[in-house]
Amino acid sequence: MKHMKRSIWFAAAIVAALTLVNIGLTVGNSSEPAQAGSVLPVFQHESPVPSLVPMIRMVMPAVVNVSTRGEMPVQSQAYAPFLNNPFFRQFFGMSPFAQQPPQERFRALGSGVIINAQKGYILTNDHVIRHATKIVITTYNHHRYPAKVVGKDRDTDLAVLQIKAHDLHQIVFGNSARLAIGDFVVAIGNPFGLGHTATFGIVSGLGRTGVEQQDHVGTFIQTDAAINPGNSGGALVNLRGQLIGINTAILTENGGGNIGIGFAIPVNLARVVASQIIKYGKVERGVLGVLVQNVTAHLRRAFGLPPGQRGALIAQVLPDSGAARAGLRAGDIITTVDGQPVRDVSALRAIIGVLRVGTHVHIRFLRNGHPKTVVAIVGHNHKSTHREFKLGRKDIGAQLANLGRSSPLYGKVKGVMVVAVTPRSPAAKAGLEPGDVILAVDQHPISNLAEFQEAIESDHGLLLLTVQRGQATFFTTLR
C-alpha cells in the first residue's frame, strides 16, 4: 500500500512538471525550451494594468515652464555696508543718493498652471517671478511666449501672468477642502529645467504653517510626491486631474534635493487670490481688528471649555475696528467664519487674509461657554506689510511697510519702511533701497502706509521724498 501511494505521488509530480514546461512553452510562443536563467512570462495574454497615463496626458498641456531673467541686489560685496550710506558713496565715485545698489543678473526656471485658456492667464508663485525683468512661458507643445505680470501677492506667494496665445488648455479646479491625509496626488512641473515631469505620492499632512515667511497668509498641503527646484508654481492634482494645490516649497537637507516633504498652496486659497489679482491687479486684504491666540489645554480649563474645544481666542479688540463695531470682546473664542471652521489662529488668518475691505462676514463664537453669532465688516489694514503703490497708473516699484521692530529706526523716527525695490523701477532710479525709511512726502510728515497713500494720490506725478538711511537723511524725487 505504501509502495502504491509512493508511485501515485511520483506520477503526479511528473505530470505537474510536464504541465509547467508546457505552460512555459505556450506562454513563450516558442517551440524551443527556455534557456537556463531566462525568465518565463507570467500571463498568456496581456491584460490592462492600472495607470495614470490618461489623467496625466489630460493635465500636462495645462502646465507650463516659466523662464525668468532679471537683476537683484548683490548681498555679498565686502564694501556693501558702506554703499548703504550716502556719505561713503562719494568716496567710491558714486552719486550719494541717485545710484542704484549693485545688481547681479540671474536666470531662473519655474512652473505655472493655465487657469484661463481664452485670456491666457497663468497662475504661479510670486517667488518664481520676483525681481524678473523678462518672463518667457514655454507651453507643453514647446511654443514660447513673452508674459506680462497681471499682479502678485507676496503674502500668499502667488502671482498671475498673462500670455497672448491660441489653442491653450486650462486646468480644472478641484476642492482642497475635501482633501484627506492619504489621498493620492500627482505633482506636475519643470524640475531642474528638465521639462514636463510628473511625480506620484499622497497627501501627507494638511493645515501646515511656518513653511515660508512668518506672516504668510494661509496654510499648506504637505505631500511626499517629489517636488524639486523648478517645480515651484506647478500643479498638484488629484487622480481626476483636478487642481488641488500649487507646488511651492520643500524641506531639504544640505544637498538641496527632495527628501519627501513638499508643500503646496491649497487651490481654494489660490483661486480666491487669483480672482482678486485678475479683477483688481492686487490683493487688497482687510482685517477684522483682533489680536488672537490659540486655545491651549490650560486655557480650555481656565475658561471652563469642554475637552478638545478649538478656536481663536481674542486677546484684544482694536478700537474702531470691524470686530469692535460688531460687539466682539476679549475672551471671546471664534469658532467659525462664514461657516468655515476656525481651529486656530492660522485658520482665522487664512480666511480673513483674502477678504477685501468692506466684506461682511458671519462670525460664530463662544462667550462664557455660550454660542453667539455676529456680522462684522472687514476693515482697512493700516498695519499691513509689503504693500505696493502706484503713482498715477504706474507702479513705483517698491514694497513698503509700516515701521516695525525689525528696523533699527523703530521708535526713533516716524515713517514707512522700504521692504523691497524692483530693478529699473521709479523707486530704484530714485535711489531707494531696502531698509530706507520715508519720513515725508512733499515735506509733509507721514507715519504709516495710509498717510503715504493719501500723499501720493494728491500728487501730480513728481514726489519729493525725505528719506532716512542709517544716521543720514536726504531728499530724492520719485516720478
Q: Which residues are catalytic?
A: 127, 157, 232
Say how far apart CA 422 and CA 398 lie, in whole Å. 6
Say how far apart CA 286 and CA 343 lie, in whole Å. 20
- Closest alpha carbon to 439 in 388, 386, 479, 475: 475
Say how far apart CA 76 and CA 269 lie, in whole Å. 36
Q: Which helix (H) or strand (E) holds 266?
A: strand 262-266
Q: How many CB atoms lie within 10 A of CB 428?
A: 21
Q: Which residue do the cell numbers 525709511 mark?
A: 437
Given strand 144-146, what is the order of strands in its sheet? Answer: 144-146, 132-138, 63-73, 103-116, 121-124, 158-162, 148-153
- Closest alpha carbon to 424 in 108, 105, 164: 105
How does DSSP assign 103-157, residue by residue?
EEEEEEEEEEEEEETTTTEEEE-HHHHTTEEEEEEE-TTS-EEE-EEEEEETTTT
Say how far apart CA 400 and CA 407 lie, in whole Å. 13
- Closest alpha carbon to 355 in 217, 475, 235: 217
Say how far apart CA 212 and CA 98 lie, in whole Å. 33
Is 12 exposed, middle or buried (CB count within 10 Å of its CB: 0-12, 13-18, 19+)?
exposed
Name every residue whose Cβ is closer than 8 Å to that of residue 75 and which is 6 or more positions away in sequence: none
Q: Running DSSP on this structure, what letter comes out for residue 362?
A: E
